[in-house]
């Protein structure tokens, strides 16, 4: 029986998911991120240190727990990888070299109501860079490039990375004279759901004047693929030091992305991100054609998350929602894989007595990196071929005293072959993932 929100994929789907994980890992390492895994649980007070996400957290309880036991603080499963990482950095600051860049690919848990692309247990592939005391803002420009690199090499729809900076919003609202800037950010962030009129209404109930609401909406409408958003903001006539600072940072991110990966990164002044530990740049990523499914890759800069009072480790990170990405695409049947098993070659079995010889052939192929299995039984060759065909295994190997042959069952071509030297075309070595979307 399935448990709501805890997806279990079929092997073909898992192969696709692993393809994405492998791509992410390989790319992260190419950019010099060190691998890390943190424990699944954190003390509850750690998890709740920033933000009021309490209701989402799953708690860990021992079945035989002593009711009177109050020694340890309650443990909760982590709901992202950034908070545990911040804790890890504080704990191990003495052993790490800064700036420290690491990747972490792990399950996360949130106690939410599941729907397509939203799960209670899901996989995130997260990268973060932290430094001691200060963090140069060029790192904020680097992260979208890495994500573009990961996703650009996968058979998925085009992506659109939307970037904003909370300083822009905060500074603009402050300059505008709105007192509760954080609440204003939350309201404007809902613009896609409730529309400009809805935002104006909520801002009004926050105490904003009509003129203020109008300008806030005008800001939210700004969306450019380059630095031209600055002029548009300046035209609105609001000034504030924080706004100026945020605009400069945002220019850097957008222009860097435009130079290295044009057409995928946009300054989008309406996005804000829910998690409230972000203090500067924030990212959100849409799959083009799947915008309704939400962001598949989000993050931002946090200046105070890893801070012990004495020391501060500002950081910036971005997290790819692997489960959401595949879940959304599976939901539309948009991904196919060439076979449901890793096997490239099936060694046919003429008779049960031939199994030792077949095993030797398989071993020779495996030794050269070719995934091989031996037929389960010495059935008619037609059946053995069908066994391979159903799983998508491309090659069937026929052992013979007169010399082995190998058949590509897709084309029907059959050629003489020796297990010590034959190799499949490189594109057949591993299951191939294909995407189909309009």
- DSSP annotation of 131: -
273 makes contact with RNA (CB under 7 A): yes
Task: Provide the CB-side half-sphere exposure for 395 (13 A, CA).
Answer: 31
Nearer to RNA, 217 or 409 (CB): 409
Residue from 345, 344, 436 nearest 398 by CA = 345
How many residues bind RNA, per CB under 7 A?
A: 65
296 makes contact with RNA (CB under 7 A): yes
Q: Interaction with RNA in 53-92: which residues (CB under 7 A)?
A: 53, 56, 80
Which phi-psi region, left, alpha or beta, contains residue 149 (left: φ > 0; alpha: ψ -120 to 50)? Answer: alpha
13 makes contact with RNA (CB under 7 A): no
- Angle, to 10 degrees, between the axis of helix 322-331 and the axis of helix 11-30? 140
Q: In what order do the strands lie in the sheet with 345-347?
A: 372-374, 345-347, 395-398, 405-408, 414-416
Residue from 175, 282, 192, 267 nearest 222 by CA = 267
Phi first, then psi, for residue 239 (nearest 5°) are -125, 145
What distance in Å separates the CA atoms of residue 354 and residue 400, rounded to the nearest whole number? 10
181 makes contact with RNA (CB under 7 A): no
106 makes contact with RNA (CB under 7 A): no
Candidates 275, 306, 341, 365; binder of RNA (CB under 7 A) is: 275
Candidates 381, 391, 432, 437; binder of RNA (CB under 7 A) is: 381
Do 361 and 347 meet the contact criterion of CB atoms below 8 Å apart? Answer: yes
303 makes contact with RNA (CB under 7 A): no
What distance in Å separates the CA atoms of residue 426 and residue 335, rounded to the nearest whole number? 21
294 makes contact with RNA (CB under 7 A): yes
The answer to whether the bond into 159 is cis (omega within 30° of 0) is no
Nearer to RNA, 146 or 243 (CB): 146
290 makes contact with RNA (CB under 7 A): no
Do 75 and 60 meet the contact criterion of CB atoms below 8 Å apart? Answer: yes
How many residues in the chain?
438
Q: How far apart are the first and last CA of the chain?
A: 34
**Could you give the 3-state DSSP secondary structure of residue 175?**
helix
Q: Specify the stretch interacting with RNA by CB under 7 A; choose among 132-140, 235-243, 274-282, 337-345.
A: 274-282
Candidates 253, 320, 334, 419; binder of RNA (CB under 7 A) is: 320
Candidates 33, 85, 122, 395; binder of RNA (CB under 7 A) is: 122
CB of 96 to RNA, least distance (A): 24
Q: Specify the stretch interacting with RNA by CB under 7 A; choose among 1-9, 40-48, 151-159, 210-218.
A: 1-9
CB of 122 to RNA, least distance (A): 4
Q: Specify the stretch interacting with RNA by CB under 7 A; choose among 237-245, 338-346, 380-388, 423-431.
A: 380-388
Residue written as token pair 């971005």: 318
Residue written as token pair 């105490």: 207
Per DSSP, the residues of 205-273 read HTT--HHHHHHHHHHHT-EESSTTHHHHHHHTT---HHHHHHHHHHHHHHHHHHHHSTTSEEEETT---
Candidates 170, 295, 343, 372; binder of RNA (CB under 7 A) is: 295
277 makes contact with RNA (CB under 7 A): no
Candidates 87, 101, 118, 167; binder of RNA (CB under 7 A) is: 118
407 makes contact with RNA (CB under 7 A): yes
Instruction: Locate 107 and state its tokens.
Output: 């399950």
Residue from 220, 280, 286, 216 nearest 250 by CA = 280
395 makes contact with RNA (CB under 7 A): no
Candidates 216, 374, 385, 433; binder of RNA (CB under 7 A) is: 385
Candidates 84, 175, 314, 321; binder of RNA (CB under 7 A) is: 321
Nearer to RNA, 9 or 98 (CB): 9
Phi first, then psi, for residue 262 (nearest 5°) are -65, 150
CB of 304 to RNA, least distance (A): 16
Candidates 40, 389, 430, 432; binder of RNA (CB under 7 A) is: 389
158 makes contact with RNA (CB under 7 A): no
Q: Specify the stretch interacting with RNA by CB under 7 A; choose among 109-117, 235-243, 253-261, 335-343.
A: 109-117
350 makes contact with RNA (CB under 7 A): yes
Partners of 300 in the β-ladder: 282, 317
Where does this chain bind RNA (CB under 7 A)? 1-5, 7, 51, 53, 56, 80, 110, 112-120, 122, 124, 186, 190, 193, 273-276, 285, 292, 294-299, 319-321, 323-325, 327, 331, 348, 350-351, 378, 380-383, 385-386, 389-390, 396, 398, 405, 407, 409-410, 412, 414
């Amino acid at each position: 029986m399935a448990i709501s929100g805890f997806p279990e994929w079929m092997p073909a789907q898992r192969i696709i998911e692993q393809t994405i994980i492998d791509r992410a890992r390989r790319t992260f390492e190419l950019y010099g991120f060190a691998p890390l895994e943190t424990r699944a649980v954190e003390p509850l007070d750690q998890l709740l240190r920033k933000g009021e996400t309490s209701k989402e957290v799953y708690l860990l309880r021992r079945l035989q727990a002593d009711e009177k036991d109050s020694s340890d603080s309650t443990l909760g499963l982590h709901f992202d990888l950034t908070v545990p990482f911040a804790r890890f950095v504080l704990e191990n600051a003495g052993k790490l070299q800064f700036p420290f860049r690491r990747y972490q690919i792990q399950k996360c848990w949130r106690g939410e109501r599941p729907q397509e692309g939203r799960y209670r247990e899901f996989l995130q592939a997260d990268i973060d860079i932290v430094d001691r005391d200060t963090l140069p803002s060029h790192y904020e420009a680097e992260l979208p490039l890495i994500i573009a690199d990961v996703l650009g090499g996968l058979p998925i729809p085009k992506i659109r990375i939307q970037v904003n900076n909370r300083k822009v919003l905060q500074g603009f609202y402050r300059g505008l004279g709105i007192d509760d800037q954080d609440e204003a950010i939350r309201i404007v962030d809902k613009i896609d759901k409730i529309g400009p009129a809805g935002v104006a209404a909520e801002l009004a109930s926050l105490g904003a004047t009509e003129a203020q609401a109008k300008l806030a909406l005008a800001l939210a409408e700004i969306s450019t693929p380059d630095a031209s958003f600055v002029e548009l903001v300046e035209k609105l006539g609001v000034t504030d030091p924080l706004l100026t600072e945020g605009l400069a940072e945002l220019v850097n991110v957008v222009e860097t992305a435009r130079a290295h990966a044009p057409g995928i990164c946009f300054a989008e002044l309406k996005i804000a991100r829910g998690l409230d530990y972000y203090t500067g740049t924030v990212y959100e990523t849409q799959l083009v054609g799947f915008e309704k499914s939400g962001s598949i890759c989000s993050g931002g800069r946090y200046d105070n998350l890893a801070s012990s009072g004495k020391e501060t480790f500002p950081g910036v990170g971005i997290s790819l929602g692997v489960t959401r990405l595949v879940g959304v695409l599976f939901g539309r049947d948009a991904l196919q894989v060439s076979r449901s098993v890793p096997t490239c070659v099936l060694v046919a079995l003429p008779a049960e007595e031939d199994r030792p010889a077949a095993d030797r052939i398989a071993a020779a192929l495996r030794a050269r990196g070719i995934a091989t299995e031996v037929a389960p039984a010495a059935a008619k060759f037609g059946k053995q071929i069908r066994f391979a065909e159903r799983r998508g295994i491309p090659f069937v190997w026929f052992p013979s005293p007169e010399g082995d042959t190998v058949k590509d069952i897709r084309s029907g071509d059959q050629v003489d072959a020796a297990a010590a030297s034959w190799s499949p075309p490189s594109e057949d070595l591993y299951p191939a993932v294909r995407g189909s979307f309009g």
